[in-house]
A = this chain, B = another copy of it.
Amino acid sequence: MEVIVISSVLQPEHIKLIEDTAAKTGARVCFAENENDVPDDFKDAEVVYGFGMNIAKTSKSLKWLCVPSAGVDYLMKPGTFANEECLLTNSSGAYGVTIAEHIIAVSLMMMRKLTVTYAEVLEGKWGKAKPQKSLKDCHITVLGTGDIGRNFARRARSFEPAALTGVCRSGICDEAAFDRVLRTEELDDILKETELLVMSLPDTHETRGILTGKRMEMMPEGSYIVNVGRGSAIDEDALAALLEKEHLAGAALDVFKTEPLPVDSPLWRTKNLLITPHVAGNLTLKHTLDRNVEMFCEDMINYSKGLPLKYLVDRSAGY
């Protein structure tokens, strides 16, 4: 078995873990910074770990692609894989911690008006105290109860919210931090009492456009939205309009329909919109990178033994 690892951020300990795992499984492994650097004798490799989209598109030998991202929407188009049977795993499970911290950070920045206070500080201004909201006694709803939603819920719980409700397709989630978990069909009911809506959904045909303007209008006046999933889930124009008229008190978007957000996008100037440039979850946090490599190695063992892959993507569901 030949394994190509494509990455420019691996540290010596990660390389060692991969090499040790390869030794256990009898695999030959090569490391490349990008797809162009792969040595010729690996051109028929059956496993790629990394963003190996060109290899996937051209190599019929490829049997398993493991990507370091959690989202896999960019791999769902026909023609992505030369070998239609190619297995796909992702790194959903590596990003929960870091994205949960992002959600807490931006929620508090908005609710405590640190967005405004810090902008004043950057101008050398000692501003006045501003009206604040708190996670304490807040009605929080988490749309998407995967790794991210659960990690957020466990942290949010400690802030003593009034309610912490999960929403997912099945309405079933074993994370004890949630007070209750509802089915997506019940979303409208819960939005009426949601003061902070956290969205951590993958991009699928079921989630695209799920947060319509009508649904945002159902939320109480003065409520907040955080989106760390995919930009496609929200009607951005409706969101901007509801922020401008202050129906919503704030929104924090880390993901957008178009990324990078175009220079001329009106979102840059939308009132009470906290933009971050898709940085909630990335490999610049050591914990995330560690988990990412560990998860791949775990599945390398499974693969070598012919066992089912633990982090397999359901390509029909799209995540």
Spell out A's residues near B (CB within 8 Å): 97-98, 101-102, 104-106, 108-109, 112, 114-115, 117-122, 124, 126-137, 154-155, 157-160, 259-261, 263, 268, 274-279, 282-287
Contact = CB atoms under 8 A, between A and B. Distances in A.
Q: Which of A157, A160, A276 has the most CB of B within 10 A?
A: A276
A126 B261 contact: yes
Contacts of A102: 108, 112
A275 B139 CA distance: 30
Contact of A105 (B97, B108, B263, B275): B108
Contacts of A283: 129
A259 B126 CA distance: 9
Given A105-B108, A105-B114, A134 B276 contact: no
Contacts of A120: 277
Contact of A129 (B117, B157, B159, B279): B279
B277 A134 contact: no
A277 to B, nearest CB: 4
Contacts of A101: 108, 112, 134-136, 159
